[in-house]
Chains A and B, each alone.
Chain A
Amino acid sequence: MLLPTALYSRLAGAPGAAEPLPVERNPAAGAAPFLFTPRLVRFPRDHEFFEDGDVQRHLYLQDMLTQVSETPEKSMVPEFTCQVAGCCQVFAALEDYQHHYHMSHGNTCSLCSRAFPSGHLLDVHILEWHDSLFQILAQRQDMYQCLVEGCPEKFRTSQDRKDHMVRLHLYPADFRFDKPKTNRGPAMPAAADPPARALKDDSDAMEICSEPAAPPPCRRTYSHRIPSTVCFGQGAARGFKSTKKRNKHP
């Protein structure tokens, strides 16, 4: 298709509309047996007119996803240690360090060193765990906000909130980022010693506390230094929220 050369400069030129030629229709135009009237055409999504374009789109996606599945090469560097106080993790690849930093130090509570996946959850934690005013107000009104962003519901207790999230938002009952602040009790270790809780433990900064009613069928992810015959109370995990500082790193 040969295009007039002026077209390219027109595209690059200033915006502007042509002065339309006068429109003058004859009533016989498009009259029976003729049919034509100018009209805009709309195609629904599954129309066969779109077949070719859809196929091309899918070919593109196929290529894209195949590439996504490949493990990316890492930028290898000489080993270095994370410089955040108290963290001795060693890394040899920048991407790994970046991920570690964001996950373990990104949204970290300065008061108890717990790390959270997002600023939102950190804010909620600080409010509910470290704000004494919150505790006072919570005795009188619904203060526990639903953790799903955009949901305005508030609740009297964290248990009520959990129930809401399970029922309405289909969250798992043991959602890891919604643990109530622990008190002492045989079922769980004392919460009295937050700073001693080492960040490096697998019993992680996203803490595990009371278990839901049904104990998990398999061993938990976390620390398994305790013999399996020891069980801290009804429904508790066979694990143990470790307060031990395990010196795993050189």
Chain B
Amino acid sequence: MWSRRQGRLSTLACGVEELRCRRREREAALRKARREQQLVSKRLLREDAPEEAGGQSAAVLLGEAEVQQFLRLAQRGTDEKEREKALVSLRRGLQHPETQQTFIRLEGSMRTLVGLLTSNRALLQLEAARCLHELSHSEQSAVAEACLPATSYLLTYLSGHSSEFIELCLYTLGNLIVESEAVRKQLLPQGIVPALVACIQSPHVAVLEALGYALSQLLQSKEAPEKIIPSLLDSSLLQHMLRLMQPGPKLNLGVAVEFAWCLHYIICSQVNNAMLLSHGALPTLAMLLLDMAGAAQRMDDAGLELQLACPVFRCLSNLLTEVPVEAMGEQMELRDERIVAALFILLQFFLQKQPTLLSEGLWLLNNLTANSPTLCTSLLSLDLIEPLLQLLPLSNVISVLVLTVLCNIVEKGPAYCQRLWPGPLLSCLLNTLVLSDIEVVGQSLELLQLLFLYQPEAAQAFLQQSGLQALERHQEETQLRDRILALQQTAIHG
């Protein structure tokens, strides 16, 4: 869908700088919404494009009489083209929120529209579906709820074969799902899960992407863990989702992105992660990671790889916490060296394109290495410690994560510490001790303790490089005091 439509984006009147500025504003608005738990609201799902002079996207305000007239024409006009045109005019009007209100207040309007949606005049059907789609974009719940009579038909059409129509139905459903709990409540008994199972077998990429979108919105709802995910896991939908995320020549990134987000919501719900494990979600995700790293390396159009990496990181990382300790050894993919190679290649990629995702990648690295001597050894043998240290100065959150990963390695004993000595580790630690963030300093202290324990020369070098003075500046900090004292003792007395 992306490549098909991207070419049609009309050139906006504003320049690159204005675009960047608007993007920053959108980001700020989204951040605020998320903090207020409002991110699921559709209010922010469609960017308000600036009014373009003329063009087909100009929203037109229609009065009640006009809406009625267009509906009547569409319903009873004699000429097919006239009927279609009437619906096109109606659709343009429905881009305007006031027209939407007028429409839903008009008695019988939805019924007429549904009638057109289910008629056998193919072009009228399509236009009626587009009108419904416009309505589904409304930020007002009342409008979304007015579309309730259409949902059983939207679901029925998902089992059809007209891909463009199905795509439209899916996006409409996705929008309605976000906006209205009443709609969601109705969809499950109406059989949305079987409808999606039928639809997910479509070979059309655009349909699959739309399905993924609708499903991701459904899974993101607050009642999903309780009401929706259990039914979903009871069906074969999960197997299909994993199939569509398998790396290989048939992988479509846009589709994989949507299902990766679906998987993320399912995993977070913790309804039945054991089932995900038994269906091979971990190997699928691991292979996807390798695939993405390969693509990032080739510096292909990076956009979709970035979009895919975030949910894949989250899925892998959270799912790892669900693997019973005894079973960890059996997961061959999780011991394969290539997985840390891939992760670092992706981290570098993020550093250049999307630094905000670095922390999620490092979180995954922690979960991979915490209980894995194999992967800790890989980090050493692949010379990844120095690159890791280069990330330290980026932010406090990143510093803590990097230090934690280093602790994961160092705590495994002298064999691991010897590989870190001599090296840049100590001077990096002395640098982090200069910082004021308590968590960063605290994690540095933990690392120092382990280092001194397993590599006594490090303690001596620490003293020689004015380590004690570096410690002193934090002596008064309650959360650090005891550890600082202990370290001072160790350094001096051994």
**A binding-site residues for B, Cβ under 8 Å:** 1-4, 6-8, 10-13, 15-26, 28-30, 33-46, 48-73, 89, 95-96, 98-100, 102-104, 106-107, 115, 117-121, 148-151, 168-172, 175-177, 199, 202, 204-206, 216-222, 224, 248
Mostly, the A contact residues are loop
Q: How many contacts between A and B, using CB within 8 angstroms?
A: 355
The smallest C-beta distance from B113 to any residue of chain A, in angstroms, reads 9
State whether the Cβ of B133 lies closer than 8 Å to any Cβ in chain A: yes
- In the complex, which residues 235-252 of chain B have their Cβ closer than 8 Å to any Cβ of chain A? 235
Q: Are B359 and A62 in contact (CB under 8 A)?
A: no
- Chain B contact residues (Cβ within 8 angstroms of A): what range? 35 or more
Which of B313-321, B425-433, B462-470 faces chain A? Answer: B313-321
Partner of B293, one of A2, A11, A22, A205: A11
Mostly, the B contact residues are helix
State whether the Cβ of B39 lies closer than 8 Å to any Cβ in chain A: yes
Q: Are A29 and B152 in contact (CB under 8 A)?
A: no
Given A2-B387, A120-B159, decide whether A216 and B111 contact each other with a Cβ distance below 8 A. Answer: yes
State whether the Cβ of B338 lies closer than 8 Å to any Cβ in chain A: yes
Minimum CB distance partner of A68 in chain B: B171
Q: Are A46 and B450 in contact (CB under 8 A)?
A: no
Q: Are A171 and B377 in contact (CB under 8 A)?
A: no
Please measure, in the bound complex, the distance between the C-alpha atom of A45 and the C-alpha atom of B384, giving whole angstroms.
30
Set of chain B residues within 8 Å of A248, measured between Cβ atoms: 80
Partner of A64, one of B213, B351, B366: B213
Please measure, in the bound complex, the distance between the C-alpha atom of A168 and the C-alpha atom of B188, giving whole angstroms.
11
Please measure, in the bound complex, the distance between the C-alpha atom of A98 and the C-alpha atom of B163, giving whole angstroms.
9
State whether the Cβ of B149 lies closer than 8 Å to any Cβ in chain A: yes
Set of chain B residues within 8 Å of A169, measured between Cβ atoms: 152, 189-191
Given A59-B30, A65-B46, A65-B171, decide whether A50 and B5 contact each other with a Cβ distance below 8 A. Answer: no
Set of chain A residues within 8 Å of B226, measured between Cβ atoms: none
Please measure, in the bound complex, the distance between the C-alpha atom of A65 and the C-alpha atom of B138, giving whole angstroms.
13
Which of B96-104, B139-147, B274-282, B414-422 faces chain A? Answer: B414-422
Set of chain B residues within 8 Å of A149, measured between Cβ atoms: 159, 191, 194-195, 197-198
Which 6 residue pairs spanning A and B have beta carbons closest together?
A: A218-B108, A221-B115, A100-B122, A118-B159, A33-B482, A24-B413
Given A30-B450, A95-B164, decide whether A66 and B338 contact each other with a Cβ distance below 8 A. Answer: no
Minimum CB distance partner of B257 in chain A: A60
Set of chain A residues within 8 Å of B112, measured between Cβ atoms: 218-219, 221
Set of chain A residues within 8 Å of B37, measured between Cβ atoms: 46
Partner of A103, one of B120, B213, B338, B382: B120
The smallest C-beta distance from A84 to any residue of chain B, in angstroms, reads 12
Q: Are B387 and A104 in contact (CB under 8 A)?
A: no
Set of chain A residues within 8 Å of B118, measured between Cβ atoms: 176, 204, 206, 221
The smallest C-beta distance from A102 to any residue of chain B, in angstroms, reads 4
Please measure, in the bound complex, the distance between the C-alpha atom of A215 and the C-alpha atom of B357, giving whole angstroms.
57
Contact sample, A vs B, 20 pairs, CB 8 Å cutoff = A18-B381, A20-B377, A23-B415, A30-B449, A38-B369, A56-B307, A58-B45, A60-B257, A62-B26, A66-B47, A69-B137, A70-B8, A70-B9, A118-B156, A120-B198, A172-B149, A176-B153, A206-B120, A218-B112, A221-B112
Set of chain A residues within 8 Å of B488, measured between Cβ atoms: none
Set of chain B residues within 8 Å of A222, measured between Cβ atoms: 115, 119
Given A177-B156, A204-B119, decide whether A30 and B338 contact each other with a Cβ distance below 8 A. Answer: no
Q: Are A41 and B367 in contact (CB under 8 A)?
A: yes
